[in-house]
């Protein structure tokens, strides 16, 4: 192995994210419980998100707009404005959540930064991801921050080109097989999967990976012997 750059996904790899979305979704479903059962509202919200993804991209602002649109649809445009106001407030609250680093993140970055160039490769709202990085206290470990609108093979090819390295010198670590691992393996890089206890439905894949460039670890710290040994 001749890895030069290690890229980290951010949400649910470096810090807590998905639980905040689940919390907001639960609040949203509770606000609309007069119209539909909880799980049906969740399905409707997911459908709106999928429809809007090409227009809005990822992140909290997209999510908030999708909650508004779903609420209007579910209520057949009869929604009380006070509920609308609460939905918008919930979205704003998501943008002010504390940054909670996941277990072992700081020590892993510290150790790897002595041998590798570290970068962040994340989706989401530009402003929100910048806020989270600033507040995280770990921004100084990274040589480069890439906030991407998608994480597919062309996006990684672009990033690798920008970093001026070859795909086989690039290793990506993240909690999503679909976004953080498969496209990187496809272009000849290395992928490490660190599962998080909860995964957004969109990122879930049923996939057995049989590649010498892949490994799965239970905790981010477990990559240290592999990368520093």
Distance CA 211, CA 168 (A): 13
- SS3 category, 8: strand
State both tokens at 64.
Answer: 């908030």
In angstroms, give the least distance from the CB of 199 to Mg ion.
8
Residue closer to Mg ion (CB basis): 49 or 175: 175
148 within 8 A of 123, measured Cβ to Cβ: yes
In angstroms, give the least distance from the CB of 200 to Mg ion.
8
CA 42 to chain centre: 19
In angstroms, give the least distance from the CB of 121 to Mg ion.
10
Residue 120's CB is within 10 A of a number of other CB atoms, namely 22
In angstroms, give the least distance from the CB of 220 to Mg ion.
12
In angstroms, give the least distance from the CB of 78 to Mg ion.
37
Residue closer to Mg ion (CB basis): 71 or 181: 181
Question: Which segments of the chain does DSSP mark as H helices, in order?
Answer: 18-31, 38-56, 60-74, 81-94, 105-112, 126-136, 153-162, 182-186, 224-228
Residue closer to Mg ion (CB basis): 35 or 202: 202
In angstroms, give the least distance from the CB of 187 to Mg ion.
19
Residue closer to Mg ion (CB basis): 89 or 207: 207
171 within 8 A of 190, measured Cβ to Cβ: yes
Residue closer to Mg ion (CB basis): 29 or 132: 132
Sheet containing strand 214-216, edge to edge, reads 144-147, 117-122, 5-8, 170-174, 190-193, 214-216
- The contact set with Mg ion (CB under 5 A) reads 9, 11-12, 175
Residue closer to Mg ion (CB basis): 9 or 169: 9
Q: What angle do helix axes 38-56 and 18-31 make, rounded to 10 degrees?
A: 120
């Amino acid at each position: 192995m001749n890895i030069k750059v290690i890229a980290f996904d951010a949400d649910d790899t470096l810090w807590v994210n998905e639980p905040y979305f689940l919390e907001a979704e639960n609040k949203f479903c509770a606000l609309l419980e007069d119209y539909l059962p909880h799980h049906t509202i969740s399905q409707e919200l997911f459908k709106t998100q999928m429809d809007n993804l090409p227009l809005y991209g990822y992140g909290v602002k997209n999510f908030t707009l999708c909650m508004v649109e779903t609420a209007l649809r579910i209520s057949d445009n009869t929604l009380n404005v006070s509920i609308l106001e609460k939905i918008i407030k919930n979205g704003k609250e998501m943008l002010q959540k504390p940054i909670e680093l996941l277990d072992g993140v700081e020590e892993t970055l510290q150790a790897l930064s002595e041998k590798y160039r570290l970068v962040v490769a994340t989706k989401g709202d530009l402003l929100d991801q910048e806020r989270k990085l600033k507040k995280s206290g770990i921004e100084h470990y990274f040589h480069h921050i890439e906030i991407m609108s998608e994480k597919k093979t062309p996006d990684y090819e672009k990033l690798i080109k920008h970093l001026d390295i070859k795909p086989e010198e690039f290793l990506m670590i993240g909690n999503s097989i679909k976004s953080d691992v498969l496209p990187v393996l496809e272009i000849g890089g290395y992928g490490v999967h660190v599962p998080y206890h909860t995964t957004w439905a969109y990122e879930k894949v049923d996939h057995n990976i049989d590649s010498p460039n892949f490994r799965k670890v239970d905790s981010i710290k477990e990559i240290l012997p592999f990368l520093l040994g």
